[in-house]
Amino acid sequence: MSSLMDTSTSSSTLVLCPAMELKDGKETLLFDPSLLQKQPNLPKEFIWPSKDLVHAQDELKEPLIDLSGFLKGNEEATSQAAELIRTACTNHGFFQVINHGVDPGLIRAAYDEIDAIFGLPMSKKLGMKRRTGGVCGYSGAHADRYSSKLPWKETFSFGFHKNESSDIVVVDYFKSVLGNDFEHTGWVYQKYCEAMKKLALVIMELLAISLGIERMHYRDFFEDGSSIMRCNLYPPCMNPGLAMGTGPHSDPTSLTILHQDQVGGLQVFVSNKWQAVTPRQDAFVVNIGDTFMALTNGRYKSCLHRALVNRESERRSLVFFVCPREDRTVRPPSDLLWTGMEVPRKYPDFTWSDLLEFTQNHHRADVATLQSFIHWLRSLQS
C-alpha cells in the first residue's frame, strides 16, 4: 500500500531550525516553542500555501442554540432548536450551544490542566509522544509525521470509552503515561470527557429529531462509542500571516464539541468565505464531521474549519471528537434512504476504524478526506 505521506525534506531547515531530533535515523524538526519563538523567521516547514491563508472577512455568531428548553422537555423549544440545527447542518455543519449544563468550573479546570501538560520539559513530552499510526499522546507540530505545512501547535490526545476492565480509562491513561503526579489531571479530564459524552448524546437526539428520524437512532449508535479528547496549545508565532495553527479541514470523526479560550482564531467556511468564530466562554462550538455526514447520506455537511495563530498570545482549545465503536458499520438509517422513492447512497458502508487508520497512516486529514478515503477503499477492492 503506497504511503501518501508528505516526504519532502528541506535541508535548509538544518540551518534554520534551532532544534532537530533523530527519529529512525532521520533528522526531523523539533517543535520547541521556547526555541522557535526566538527565531527571526518562520522556518519554511511552517509556511502554508497562499490559497490556505485567505483572510476571514466576517464574524459568524449564529446559529446559537439554547439547550435549556430541550433539556427540560419543552416541545416548542425542541422544535425551534431542531429547525436551527437542520438549517445550519444542511448548509455548513456548524452551530454553537449555550445553557448546555456543563459546569463552568470543570471547563476552567480543564484549561488549567492544559498548562500542566504542555508546561512539562520537552524531554518529558517527547517521552509521551504519539506512536506512529496512533492518535493518543503528545505531538509537536506533527513534525514527525509531515515535512511541510506543519501546524503551529502542540497537541495532547487520549481516548475516552467504556470498557470492562475500567470505567476510569482517562485516569488510568494519565497515571500510566504521565505518572502518579498526574492523577488529579486525569480525574479532571475523566470528568470533562464524561460531561462531553453526556452533552454529545443530547445533541445526537436533537440531530435525529431535526432529520425527522427515530429520536434515539444516533444516540443508540454512539452510546458505546470510543471518542477522542484533544488539548491544543497554539504558541505565539513570529509570522502568523504565513502560518496555520490547524490547517483547513473537516474532522473525519462524527461530531466535534469544542471549547476555545478568549483569544480567538477558529474560523469556519460558510457562505463561500472564511468567517471568524467569536469566542464565547459560555458556549461550545459543535461541528459535523465526515463520519456523521455519511451517517446522514450527505444531508448534513461536514464543517470546513481552520485555526489561526497570532503574534502576541498563546491560544488554547479543548476538543472532544465523538466517534462510534470502531467496528460499527457507518450506514445511514433507512428512513433517510426512502422519500416515497429510493434515495441513492452517496457513500459506501465503512467502519470508523478504517477511516481512522486511513487518516493516521495514509492520508493527512484535510478538506477532502472522505472522498480520498472512498477512492482508497475502492482501490483496495479493485
Ligand X SMILES: C=C1C[C@]23C[C@H]1CC[C@H]2[C@]1(C)CCC[C@@](C)(C(=O)O)[C@H]1[C@@H]3C(=O)O
Name the site residues for Fe ion (rule: CB under 5 A): 251
Burial (CB count within 10 angstroms: exposed 0-12, middle 13-18, buried 19+), residue 201? middle
How far apart, in whole angstroms, are the C-alpha atoms of residue 192 and residue 210?
A: 27
Minimum Å gap between C-beta 293 and Fe ion is: 14
Please tell me whether residue 246 binds ligand AKG under the rule CB under 6 A: yes
Q: Which of residues 86 and 316 has its CB atom nearest to ligand AKG in the complex?
A: 316
Catalytic residues: 315
In angstroms, the Cα distances linking 74 to 100, 103, 364 are 15, 22, 43
Question: What is the Cβ-side half-sphere exposure of residue 63, based on CA atoms within 13 angstroms?
Answer: 21
Which of ligand X, Fe ion, ligand AKG, none does residue 363 bind (CB under 5 to 8 Å by kind)? none
- Which distant-in-sequence residues (6+ apart) come within 8 Å of 51 by Cβ? none
- DSSP class per residue in 94-144: EEEEES----HHHHHHHHHHHHHHHTS-HHHHHHTBPPTT---EEEETTTT
| Cis before 49 (ω within 30) | no
Q: What residues make contact with ligand X under the rule CB under 6 A?
A: 135, 142, 151, 228, 246, 249, 251-253, 321, 356, 359, 364-365
Question: What is the Cβ-side half-sphere exposure of residue 151, based on CA atoms within 13 angstroms?
Answer: 22
Minimum Å gap between C-beta 94 and ligand AKG is: 11
Minimum Å gap between C-beta 277 and ligand AKG is: 8
User: Radius of gyration over alpha carbons of the chain, in Å?
Assistant: 21
Burial (CB count within 10 angstroms: exposed 0-12, middle 13-18, buried 19+), residue 205? middle
Stretch touching ligand AKG by CB under 6 A, among 15-23, 67-75, 213-221, 258-266: 258-266
How far apart, in whole angstroms, are the C-alpha atoms of residue 56 and residue 266?
A: 10
Please tell me whether residue 267 binds ligand AKG under the rule CB under 6 A: no
Please tell me whether residue 304 binds ligand AKG under the rule CB under 6 A: no
Task: Return the residue of 200, 319, 322, 370 that touches ligand AKG, per CB under 6 A.
Answer: 319
Minimum Å gap between C-beta 261 and ligand AKG is: 9
Task: Return the residue of 219, 230, 301, 363 that touches ligand AKG, per CB under 6 A.
Answer: 230
Q: Using CA atoms in the order 342, 300, 66, 59, what is the torsion angle rounded to 10 degrees?
A: -150
Task: Return the residue of 45, 113, 144, 251 that touches ligand AKG, per CB under 6 A.
Answer: 251
Which of ligand AKG, ligand X, Fe ion, none does residue 260 bind (CB under 5 to 8 Å by kind)? ligand AKG
Q: Which of residues 206 and 285 has its CB atom nearest to ligand AKG in the complex?
A: 285
Minimum Å gap between C-beta 217 and ligand AKG is: 25
Which of Fe ion, ligand X, ligand AKG, none does residue 359 bind (CB under 5 to 8 Å by kind)? ligand X
Please tell me whether residue 291 binds ligand AKG under the rule CB under 6 A: no
Please tell me whether residue 97 binds ligand AKG under the rule CB under 6 A: no
Binding residue count for ligand AKG, defined by CB under 6 A: 11
User: Can you say whether the dihedral through the CA atoms of 328, 329, 330, 334 is positive or negative?
Assistant: negative
Identify whether the C-beta of residue 116 lies closer than 8 Å to the C-beta of residue 182.
yes
Minimum Å gap between C-beta 356 and ligand X is: 6
Identify whether the C-beta of residue 349 lies closer than 8 Å to the C-beta of residue 327.
no
Which of Fe ion, ligand X, ligand AKG, none does residue 307 bind (CB under 5 to 8 Å by kind)? ligand AKG
Task: Return the residue of 185, 190, 232, 254 that touches ligand AKG, per CB under 6 A.
Answer: 232
The string over 34-56, giving b where at least 16 C-beta atoms fall within 10 Å of a residue's C-beta and e elsewhere, is: eebeeeeebbebbbbeeeebeeb
C-alpha cell at 75: 416541545
Task: Return the residue of 60, 171, 266, 283 that touches ligand AKG, per CB under 6 A.
Answer: 266
Binding pattern for the stretch 181-200 against ligand AKG, x by CB under 6 A and - elsewhere: --------------------
Beta-strand relationship, 154-160 and 227-234: antiparallel
Minimum Å gap between C-beta 74 and ligand AKG is: 31
Which of ligand X, Fe ion, ligand AKG, none does residue 226 bind (CB under 5 to 8 Å by kind)? none
C-alpha cell at 334: 433507512
Task: Return the residue of 96, 139, 185, 260 that touches ligand AKG, per CB under 6 A.
Answer: 260
Residues within the interface to ligand AKG (CB under 6 A):
230, 232, 246, 251, 258, 260, 266, 305, 307, 317, 319
